[in-house]
């Protein structure tokens, strides 16, 4: 393999398309520039004279834990190329080699593309997986097609060295306001994994419905998951424990950790309809399928409340291998402040007792029991005294500012669907902020990462999910992954515009933002 220049090139300085020197009768054709990746890579050093050609003789070389990642790469590249792309434990033919070796940062990787061989190196399979997502974007957009395409499958020569800025890069999907079937969640997981998102937070209960089976409280889903429990009286449904476990596994195969959320002590009307004993007066409230918030509360002085909370937390923890368990805590406007603190003092330790790190919306920061919890900031302010205090006591923060990262906000006045209480969020607004400097009093080191929530009040199906998520999800994914030095709107805008044809070929619906020049 030709030696690759080791110079580190500022990724923003590079053109997106270069013209490869032709090596045969076919005319010079543009290949994708090495730095034209979403989210932006940390370092790219192109070797302009070099391209690697994927052919029907290419093999993928990988062994041990790398073989599963190689298998996924092969499955991703076979449909459009029509090539066999066998995965072999060794081989020196023209190959893409996936190599596990010590010394790379968590989830980081190095990708060397030479004329005869591609070498992808990482310390663990998660880094290799991230590298394969980069590799896919360096092939022409036709690679996204589900059936064989005529194509010259060239990769641009050079070296990429890449690693995430933050450990937590998340998306949230609300299954409570409208239930989304496991197949729709899997489809979203596939798309998230393309942009190196590594957590999917599932909002599983709310005033309208309850979407995860809890064996010790069966009416939660029998009643709260019944038909007609979506906003507007539409839809309904819930995840069985098997559905949930399968989603956890499906996500883990794509290096995504599922974060389950049960929202308490507010947002509990569906639980109280199923179990009136969870109200202070023991009377069942009426089922609600409107979009109001803040009217329901668990009965903080009743023992049954804590039996309920403990049972739910225990059963959720048992089927969740990931470290986090989200207990909501937002918009508890019907829980008096003192009661809210009493509730959190008892419930936050339950999460730890069941082996999980407590995670909640930023209201939980008011509780001295928050300790080392993860706090999800969803406000629009640039400072939050309670979050600052919690951070000083050891909490970490995931940033989901509603006016930047809420994927359910409309793009503009004319957007079909979506809400607008936090304003319109066009792509540039979603992109133009720095997670390390959003909140005064929350230094970069206290930021665990970013998350883009998608609430489902106005959503029905995958088309609706995708239209609001794309392209803004990619902006949030880049803020979570790429180094601060790569943050540059014209560069992001150009890479995003070039990505459009991939979504078209993959059948992913997206908003053709007028801020972007789509290829």
Residues forming contacts to ligand TNX in the complex (CB under 6 A) are 293, 330-331, 361, 378, 406, 408, 419, 455, 457
- The total of other beta-carbon atoms located within 10 Å of residue 218's CB is 11
Give whichever of 257 and 456 is closer to ligand TNX, judged by the CB atom.
Answer: 456
Does residue 144 have an active-site annotation? no
CA distance 37 to 498: 10
Strands 95-100 and 17-19: unpaired
> For 27, which DSSP code?
P
Task: Of 496, 503, 510, give the one whose Cα is nearest residue 464.
Answer: 510
Cα dist. 90→56, 59, 94, 310 in Å? 18, 9, 12, 51
Half-sphere exposure of 518 (CA within 13 A, CB side): 12
> What whole-number distance in Å separates Cα of residue 274 and Cα of residue 296?
14
CA atoms within 13 A on the CB side of 214: 28
Nearer to ligand TNX, 111 or 370 (CB): 370
Token pair of 71 as six digits:
């298998």
Question: Measured from the CB of residue 397, what is the shortest distance to ligand TNX in angstroms?
Answer: 14
Nearer to ligand TNX, 47 or 408 (CB): 408
Strand 43-53 to 154-162 pairing: antiparallel
Closest approach of ligand TNX to the CB of residue 402, in Å: 6
CB of 419 to ligand TNX, least distance (A): 5
Which residues are within 8 A (CB) of 169 and not within 5 positions of it... i.e. 6 or more apart? 196, 197, 198, 199, 449, 450, 451, 476, 477, 480, 481
Under the phi-then-psi rule, with left for phi > 0, alpha for psi from -120 to 50, and beta for the rest, what region is 232?
left
CB of 382 to ligand TNX, least distance (A): 17
Core vs surface per residue 62-99: b (16+ CB within 10 A) or e: beeebbbbbebbbebbeebbebebebeeeeeebbbbbe
Three-state DSSP class for residue 435: helix
Burial bucket for residue 338 (CB in 10 Å: 0-12, 13-18, 19+): exposed
Measured from the CB of residue 220, what is the shortest distance to ligand TNX in angstroms? Answer: 19
Rounded Cα distance between 195 and 211, Å, is: 27
The residue among 226 and 419 lying less far from ligand TNX, judged by its C-beta, is 419
The 8-class DSSP code of residue 418 comes to: -
Nearer to ligand TNX, 21 or 333 (CB): 333
- Only one residue has tokens 């039996």, namely 307
Q: Which residues have a Cβ under 8 Å from the Cβ of 21 and sit 6 or more positions away?
A: 28, 49
Q: Which of 142, 181, 310, 331 is catalytic?
A: 331
- Contact predicate 471/423, CB 8 Å: no
Contacts of 344 (CB under 8 A, 6+ apart): 329, 364, 366, 367, 369, 370
To ligand TNX, the closest distance from the beta carbon of 195 in angstroms equals 22
Q: Which residues are identified as catalytic?
A: 331
């Amino acid at each position: 393999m030709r030696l690759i220049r080791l110079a580190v090139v500022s990724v923003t300085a590079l053109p997106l398309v270069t013209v490869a020197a032709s090596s045969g009768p076919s005319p010079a054709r543009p290949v994708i520039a090495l730095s034209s990746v979403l989210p932006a890579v940390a370092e790219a050093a192109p070797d302009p004279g070099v391209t690697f050609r994927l052919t029907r003789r290419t093999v993928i070389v990988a062994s041990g834990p790398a073989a599963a990642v190689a298998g996924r790469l092969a499955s991703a590249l076979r449909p459009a190329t029509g090539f066999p792309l066998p995965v072999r434990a060794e081989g020196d033919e023209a190959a893409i080699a996936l190599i596990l070796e010590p010394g790379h940062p968590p989830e980081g990787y190095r990708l060397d593309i030479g004329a005869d061989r591609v070498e992808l190196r990482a310390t663990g399979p998660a880094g290799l997986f991230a590298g394969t997502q980069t590799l896919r974007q360096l092939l022409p957009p036709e690679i996204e097609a589900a059936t064989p395409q005529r194509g010259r499958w060239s990769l641009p020569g050079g070296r990429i060295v890449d690693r995430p800025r933050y450990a937590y890069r998340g998306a949230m999907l609300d299954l409570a306001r409208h239930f989304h079937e496991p197949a729709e969640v899997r489809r979203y997981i596939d798309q998230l994994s393309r942009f190196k998102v590594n957590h999917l937070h599932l909002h599983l209960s709310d005033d309208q419905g309850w979407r995860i089976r809890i064996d010790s409280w069966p009416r939660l889903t029998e009643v709260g998951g019944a038909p007609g429990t979506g906003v507007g009286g539409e839809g309904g449904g819930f995840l069985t424990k098997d559905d949930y476990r399968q989603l956890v596994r499906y996500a883990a195969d794509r290096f995504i950790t599922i974060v389950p959320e049960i929202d308490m002590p507010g947002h509990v009307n569906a639980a109280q309809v199923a179990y009136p004993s969870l109200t202070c007066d023991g009377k069942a409230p009426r089922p609600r399928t409107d979009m109001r918030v803040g009217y329901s509360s668990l009965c903080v002085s009743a023992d049954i409340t804590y039996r309920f909370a403990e049972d739910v937390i225990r059963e959720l923890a048992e089927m969740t291998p990931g470290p986090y368990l989200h207990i909501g805590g937002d918009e508890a406007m019907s829980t008096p402040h003192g009661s809210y603190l009493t509730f959190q003092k008892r419930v936050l330790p339950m999460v730890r007792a069941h082996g999980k790190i407590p995670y909640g919306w930023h209201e939980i920061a008011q509780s001295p029991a928050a300790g080392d919890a993860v706090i999800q900031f969803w406000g629009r302010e640039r400072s939050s005294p309670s979050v600052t205090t919690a951070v000083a006591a050891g909490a970490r923060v995931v940033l989901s500012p509603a006016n930047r990262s809420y994927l359910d906000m409309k793009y503009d006045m004319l957007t079909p669907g979506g809400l607008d209480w936090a304003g319109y969020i066009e792509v540039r607004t979603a992109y133009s902020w720095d997670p390390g400097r959003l909140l005064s009093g929350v230094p970069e080191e206290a930021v665990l990462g970013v998350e883009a929530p998608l609430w489902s009040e106005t959503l029905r199906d995958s088309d609706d999910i995708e239209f609001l998520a794309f392209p803004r999800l990619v902006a949030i994914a880049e803020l979570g992954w790429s180094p601060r030095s790569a943050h540059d709107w014209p560069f992001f805008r150009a890479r995003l515009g070039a990505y459009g044809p991939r979504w078209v070929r993959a059948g992913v619906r997206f908003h053709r933002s007028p801020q972007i020049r789509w290829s």
